[in-house]
Amino acid sequence: MVLVWRKNLRTCRLFFVRPKCADSCYFASDSHEWVKIDGNSAIVGITDHAQDHLGDVVYVELPEAGAAVTQGSSFGAVESVKATSDINSPVSGKVVEVNEELNSSPGLVNVSPHENGWIIKVEMSDTGDLNSLMDSEQYTKFCEEEDAKH
């Protein structure tokens, strides 16, 4: 996700607590998408940090169910009052569900980015994709370093 940065931003808030259960874990990409893993299924959205930088989301471009997504490639976009940003998939696979609620309530991405504001559900084709993602601690440090540059 390409973001337009604002000056004097707060440091990155911890956007998730990594569960102790190995079957259900959260990860984040360096383009600010999160993924929650449950077996071979993945729920994907944009991080709290990303939505905070974007501002009020007014439109979410969703893919079709059945579409193939590739790790690091764009599958949709988020339009805010400030900018339009691509949403990149943190994992490869097939979209099995899209959050249709975002068509009528795109602001869910702002008010509940990790619960009601999820964007797609993916049947992963390669769980090895997770090896290139960050856990909570790594992502928090990444955001702090990024914010310090701006």
- Residue range 126-136, pLDDT digits in tens: 989 999 999 88
Report CA-CA distances (Å) from 53 to 4, 94, 95, 143, 147. Answer: 7, 29, 26, 11, 10
Q: Is residue 7 part of a domain?
A: no
Confidence band, pLDDT 50/70/90 cuts, at residue 23: very low
pLDDT of residue 116: 96
Supply 57's token pair: 């989301």
Q: Is residue 86 part of a domain?
A: yes
- The average pLDDT across 121-143 equals 91
- The average pLDDT across 20-47 equals 81
Domain total for the chain? Answer: 1
CA dihedral 77, 41, 139, 9 (to 10 degrees): 30
pLDDT of residue 150: 75
Q: Is residue 6 part of a domain?
A: no
- The average pLDDT across 55-65 equals 97
Q: Is residue 15 part of a domain?
A: no
CATH number of the domain bearing residue 52: 2.40.50.100
CB neighbours of residue 66 within 10 Å:
8
pLDDT of residue 70: 97
Confidence band, pLDDT 50/70/90 cuts, at residue 13: very low
Q: Is residue 67 part of a domain?
A: yes
Model confidence at 59: pLDDT above 80: yes
Q: Is residue 18 part of a domain?
A: no
pLDDT of residue 4: 33
Which residue range(s) make up the domain with 29? 24-149
The percentage of residues in the chain with a pLDDT greater than 70, rounded to a whole number, is: 83
pLDDT in tens, 69-110: 999 999 999 999 989 999 999 999 999 999 999 999 999 999
Supply 65's token pair: 């169910």
Q: Is residue 81 part of a domain?
A: yes
pLDDT of residue 147: 85
